[in-house]
Structure 1
Amino acid sequence: MKKGTEMIKHQDMSQRMYEVKCKDGHSQVLTATELEQLIRSSEHECPDCKNPLLTSNLGLECFICSSMFTVSSLEEAEDTIDTGCMDCDERGFHEDSIHINNSWGYFENVYQWRRNNNLDEEHLRRKGRTDFWEAVIHFCKPHEFASIYKEGKIKAGKTGYFGVPAVCLTEIPLGNWKDLRVRHGDFGFVFLKRDLIAAGGGPAIYLSDELIRAQKTNGGFCEEIRPFLNLLRISSVTPGKLRHDFMHEREWRLPNDLLLENTQPYAIIVGNYDMGTEGWEDIWRARLEVEELLTQEDEDTSQGISKSK
């Protein structure tokens, strides 16, 4: 977990609405992001009458030093943004730091400013091994990721041969995630194997029909083993029966809810999202609080975030 982020979960991330209008009374109501995009576009004419668009006492903020700038026109706002914060510039912070508060540009630049120690996968690799590493991942979709972060837990769901609750993860190392991310989602929580084992988790167990029947006739499976058991059935071995083989997912399980407070993520994996994504506020907060695992795949897509233009 990153330090100094305790207040992030409580930050107000709602977007204020702004009205811009021309002298003839044509008006538009825009979000902070839409207004900043309009300002940066240099297209400040009314689409109906071509008169200049006006706004009253618009406040801009430097996200570094929190200095406020009040402007009375879109042209003045563009000049202020382009000029930047002189105080920060004198101190050596040459950043695109002035935004409308709570716009997408504001949040993205705050994130980039605070992020300083992102991890890469080399921290988790075992020397000389490309097929093995020290982590397991719970992949999920963006709204699920946001919910997990907000609630502080990954809820166990019914799974496996006995359909009992467990949290599902994978130990597949980087470079082989494509199918998993398509199937389960391209966001994820990364945990060290040792931490998951300490919490009561471990690799899933795959047994054939014959071995499961044999165990059932010799006392059955104890309650502690049931969450980990999977049926392994390959059609070439058992013709006429439905194939059941998920060994390629190299699954690990935890037989109860995974509480992030007790088993803290080593890192997170963030896919593409924007301000239209359900739960984007909590995704942003998670990125500030927990280190991101940066992979070459994510580097190729600008760390996985879709930026507003």
Structure 2
Amino acid sequence: MGYTDSRPDFSNYLAHFTSNRKTCSQSQDNPTLKFQKMDAMERLISILNSKKIIASTMPWIKANAVCFTECPWSSLLQHTKNYSAYGIGFTKPHIYVAGGGPALYLKEDLLNAQNWDDKVKPFMTPFIPPYGTSNHKKNSKFPKFVDYTHKREWRVPHDFTFNVDDIQFIVVAKNSDIEQIDRIIKWKIPKEKFLSIEMYKKIESLWPTHIS
């Protein structure tokens, strides 16, 4: 097995999930503020219609990026609980060629060790885990623990545009969403590209092989 082969703990695919939450940064310069009144499905439909994911201002680091996760299939249900059951997936090579790469999770002392180049900042996130010492938290400039390592995140440091053929899969909450999206968007998506969390949950109830 080569190092690029997909495994239960490794994938050659990345997904961007929408959410029902407000944007992490409420800065007036955040380009995604205009989507705040949309729910997760509406945001996914907007992405599909425009064939573009708008880069959002990162919390902690004042830089814009589009975020993707390498969340493995076995952890997908838990991930959708934290974000939503609506997402869109692409290959890692496609994200890389678009300027993307893995996020950098840095301890706060390393984060503050130098003046980082603006090209690096969109990829940076502080790493302040809850298992750090009380001293770490006391001396931190951040208001709470920060640990996103479970996302196995990749980022593109600008708006991400794509073509229909670039889409590898689309995650939706339920089977009926597929028909609704098909009626609303301006172009046709092959039905085989849709993954329904409703069906995933049904499979897990019959053959429970993962912890959800």
Q: Normalized against structure 2, the TM-score is what?
A: 0.69
Higher relative contact order (CA 8 A, sep 6+): 2
Cα-to-partner distance string for 1:219-268 (whole Å, 9 max, x where unaligned) = x1111110000000124324162311111111111111111239821221
What is the aligned partner in structure 2 of residue 71 from structure 1?
Answer: none
Cα-to-partner distance string for 1:112-144 (whole Å, 9 max, x where unaligned) = xxxxxxxxxxxxx936x3100110001122111
Cα-to-partner distance string for 1:38-97 (whole Å, 9 max, x where unaligned) = xxxxxxxxxxxxxxxxxxxxxxxxxxxxxxxxxxxxxxxxxxxxxxxxxxxxxxxxxxxx
Q: Is 1:189 matched with 2:122?
A: no
Distance 1:284 1:181 in 2: 26
Cα-to-partner distance string for 1:170-192 (whole Å, 9 max, x where unaligned) = 00110101232122211211100
Query: Using a 3 Å threshold, how does the CA distance of structure 1 residues 265 and 209 change in structure 2: closer, same or farther?
Result: same
What is the aligned partner in structure 1 of residue 100 from structure 2?
Answer: 201
1:292 to 193, 201, 205: 193
- Kept in 2: contact 1:160–1:227 (CA 8 A): no
Amino acid at match of 2:160: L
What is the aligned partner in structure 1 of residue 14 from structure 2?
Answer: 136
SS of the equivalent of 2:134 reads coil
What is the aligned partner in structure 1 of residue 33 from structure 2?
Answer: none
Q: How does 1:152-231 map to 2 (within 5 A)?
A: 152-214=51-113, 216=114, 220-231=115-126
**Structure 2: 5+ residue stretches without partners:** 19-39, 138-143, 204-212
Distance 1:297 1:150 in 2: 24
SS of the equivalent of 1:177 reads helix
The structure having more radius of gyration, on CA atoms, is 1
Measured after TM superposition, the shift of residue 294 of structure 1 is 4.2
What is the aligned partner in structure 2 of residue 40 from structure 1?
Answer: none
What is the aligned partner in structure 1 of residue 184 from structure 2?
Answer: 282
Q: CA RMSD in A?
A: 3.1
**Structure 1: 5+ residue stretches without partners:** 1-124, 303-309
- Kept in 2: contact 1:152–1:261 (CA 8 A): yes
Query: Using a 3 Å threshold, how does the CA distance of structure 1 residues 193 and 148 change in structure 2: closer, same or farther?
Result: same
SS of the equivalent of 1:197 reads helix
What is the aligned partner in structure 2 of residue 107 from structure 1?
Answer: none
- Equivalenced residue count is 171
SS of the equivalent of 2:67 reads strand
SS of the equivalent of 1:147 reads helix
Amino acid at match of 2:166: Q
SS of the equivalent of 2:111 reads helix
